[in-house]
Amino acid sequence: MRPEQQGVEVAVLVSVGRHPITGRARRADQDARGLELALGLGHQLPGSRVSLLHAGVLDEASEASLRGYLGMGLETLTLLEQTEGADAIPALAEHLAAAPPQLVITGARAERGEGSGLLPYALAERLGWPLVSGLAAVETVENGVATLLQALPRGQRRRLKVRLPAILTVDAAAPAPRQSAFGPARRAELEVTPVAAEPDRELAQWRLAPARKRPKRLKIVKAASARDRFKAAAAKAEGGSGQVLEGVSAEQGAEAIYKLLKEEGVLPR
């Protein structure tokens, strides 16, 4: 007997993006891919409901970019309005805990602010939900268990089963987002809920500066023929000197990482 597939409640967390060249506010690419995946899921599992959630400041630039998501075909977006510099995690966690959706989809990292990519993990920790990163597709949702495809490097996929509710993050492996249409974006509504602002004290102490290009280890290929060069280019990066630590204490692990960073010249010797 084939179990009944039911519609799912999906919440997509979206952020205000930043264009890599001009720095203009826009719909963030990964979040838009997350929404695209959710909309595709809505199509695949009839009866699914997709809702949009954003916590942050409401101003002209952020409204324009949030409407970019609405132009993909949604009628409302829930905006948890906060003051500048407030921490989005408690507000989002509270909102999600109050009416838990089955799936929370979001981009792997934001295009502005810290952009640390830690928000989904922090949310998962607070809510006690499992988290799957690098989502490529949601295959089925049956009896509270979702079968997912996780994207791995070089086009590999891993099939996972995860108990709902769960948080899923998407990166560039997810389907490209559809075009945002001006008309629906303009008509859609922002449901603004002011929330208690919990200032992000940690962030307030940081000094923000434009990123510098990171040094990149050169891969020197000594190949005589085109075939060798191709093989070298297509081959998996071979760690070789990699080391798997098992059954060690946190201190020992940290020590090993610290040592490696020193060796690599990331930290001053």
Partner 1 sequence: MLNTILPILIFAALALAAVGAGRRVRLWRQGRPSPVPLLKGLAALPRRYLVDLHHVVARDKVMSNTHVATAGGFVAAAVLMILVHGLGLANPVLGALLLAASACMFVGSLFVARRRRDPPARLSRGPWMRLPKSLMAFSLGVFLITLPTVGILPPDAGSWILALVLAAVVVWGLAEMVVGMTWGGPMKHAFAGALHLAFHRRPERFSSKAGGEGRSTGLKALDLENEATPLGVETPSDFTWNQLLGFDACVQCGRCEAVCPAFAAGQPLNPKKLIQDMVVGLAGGSDAGYAGSPYPGKPVGEHHGNPHGPIVARQGTALVDAETLWSCTTCRACVEECPMMIEHVDAIVDMRRHLTLEHGNTPGKGAEVLDNLIATDNPGGFDPGSRLHWAADLNLPRMADLGQVDVLLWLGDGAFDMRNQRTLRALVKVLRAAEVDFAVLGDEERDSGDVARRLGDEATFQSLARRNIATLSRYRFQRIVTCDPHSFHVLGNEYSELGGHYAVQHHSTFIAELYDAGRLAFSPWKGGSVTYHDPCYLGRYNGEYEAPRRVLEALGIQVAEMERSGFRSRCCGGGGGAPIIDIPGERRIPDMRMNDVKETGAELVAVGCPQCTAMLEGVVDASAEVRDIAELVADALVARPAAAAPRRSADKTTAEEVI
Sign (positive/negative) of CA torsion 222, 225, 226, 228? negative
- Are the CB atoms for 60 and 18 separated by under 8 Å? no
30 is an interface residue for partner 1 by CB under 8 A: no
| 3 token code pair | 């179990």
Instruction: Return the residue of 46, 153, 155, 183 that touches partner 1, per CB under 8 A.
Output: 183
Instruction: Return the residue of 61, 97, 118, 181 that touches partner 1, per CB under 8 A.
Output: 181
Q: Please report, for residues 3, 240, 263, the alpha-carbon distance to residue 255 in angstroms, rounded to integers and kept in the order given.
A: 49, 20, 12
Q: Between residues 68 and 120, which has the closer beta carbon with respect to partner 1?
A: 68
Q: Please report, for residues 31, 42, 54, the alpha-carbon distance to residue 80 in angstroms, rounded to integers and kept in the order given.
A: 17, 24, 6
**Binding segment for partner 1 among 19-27, 110-118, 146-154, 248-256 (CB under 8 A)?**
19-27
Instruction: Return the residue of 158, 159, 163, 187 that touches partner 1, per CB under 8 A.
Output: 187
Q: What is the Cα–Cα distance from 140 to 170, expressed in whole angstroms? A: 17
243 is an interface residue for partner 1 by CB under 8 A: no
Instruction: Return the residue of 93, 131, 178, 197 that touches partner 1, per CB under 8 A.
Output: 178
* Helix pair 29-44, 60-70: axis angle to 10 deg: 30
For the segment 58-97, give every residue that binds partner 1 (CB under 8 A). 71-73
112 is an interface residue for partner 1 by CB under 8 A: no
33 is an interface residue for partner 1 by CB under 8 A: no
Question: How many residues sit in the footprint of partner 1 (CB under 8 A)?
Answer: 17
Q: Between residues 27 and 109, which has the closer beta carbon with respect to partner 1?
A: 27
Q: What is the Cα–Cα distance from 70 to 59, expressed in whole angstroms? A: 16
Nearest approach, Cβ of residue 68 and partner 1 (Å): 9
210 is an interface residue for partner 1 by CB under 8 A: no
**Binding segment for partner 1 among 20-28, 108-116, 124-132, 136-144 (CB under 8 A)?**
20-28
Q: Between residues 62 and 133, which has the closer beta carbon with respect to partner 1?
A: 62
Question: φ and ψ at 167, to 5 degrees?
Answer: -110, 130
Nearest approach, Cβ of residue 24 and partner 1 (Å): 6
C-alpha 160 chain-centroid distance? 18
Amino acid at 220: I
- Are the CB atoms for 91 and 82 separated by under 8 Å? yes
Chain residues that interact with partner 1, rule: CB under 8 A:
19, 21-22, 24, 26, 71-73, 178-184, 186-187
